[in-house]
């Protein structure tokens, strides 16, 4: 199984700042890495798939990069609604596996 190591576990930032979340796969997953946002009381939201492709409706302040084993989610000019939990997930092969999550909090 592909192990996904996500860092950091927690992140505190202020609105307007930029942050990055990293995800490392235990073996190459080509470009097939997705990022999701999770907020209480709401359905999980797909932000980015295939490493860098923005899902329809994802604001352009979100960007994804990487391939092979190392990936990064960057959020520029943080908005208040961006705070929450973020997960990476490899969608290259079964069993699909997720990172352990990053909690993005307001500083």
Partner 1 sequence: EVQLVESGGGLVQPGRSLKLSCAASGFTFSSFPMAWVRQAPKKGLEWVASISSGGGGTYYPDSVRGRFTISRDNAKSTLYLQMDSLRSEDTASYYCARHYPTTEEFDYWGQGVMVTVSS
Could you list the residues that contact partner 1 (CB under 8 A)? 1, 32, 34, 36, 38, 41-46, 49-50, 55, 87, 89, 91, 94-101
Q: Which is nearer to partner 1, 16 or 95 (CB)?
A: 95
| Nearest distance from C-beta of residue 16 to partner 1, angstroms | 29
| Nearest distance from C-beta of residue 102 to partner 1, angstroms | 10
State how far the Cα of 30 lies from the Cα of 85, in Å rounded to an integer. 25
Q: Which is nearer to partner 1, 1 or 17 (CB)?
A: 1
State how far the Cα of 64 lies from the Cα of 80, in Å rounded to an integer. 20
| Nearest distance from C-beta of residue 9 to partner 1, angstroms | 10
Q: Which is nearer to partner 1, 16 or 42 (CB)?
A: 42
Nearest to 73, CA basis, from 2, 3, 27, 4: 4
State how far the Cα of 3 lies from the Cα of 69, in Å rounded to an integer. 10
């Amino acid at each position: 199984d592909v192990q996904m190591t996500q860092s950091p576990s927690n992140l505190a930032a202020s609105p307007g700042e930029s942050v990055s979340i990293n995800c490392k796969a235990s073996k190459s997953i080509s470009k097939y890495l997705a990022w999701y946002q999770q907020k209480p009381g709401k359905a999980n939201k797909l932000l980015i798939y295939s490493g860098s492709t923005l899902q329809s409706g994802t604001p352009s302040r979100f960007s994804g990069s990487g391939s092979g084993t190392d990936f990064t989610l960057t959020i520029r000019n943080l908005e208040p609604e961006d705070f929450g939990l973020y997960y990476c997930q490899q969608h290259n092969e079964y069993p699909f596996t997720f990172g352990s999550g990053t909690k993005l909090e307001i500083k």
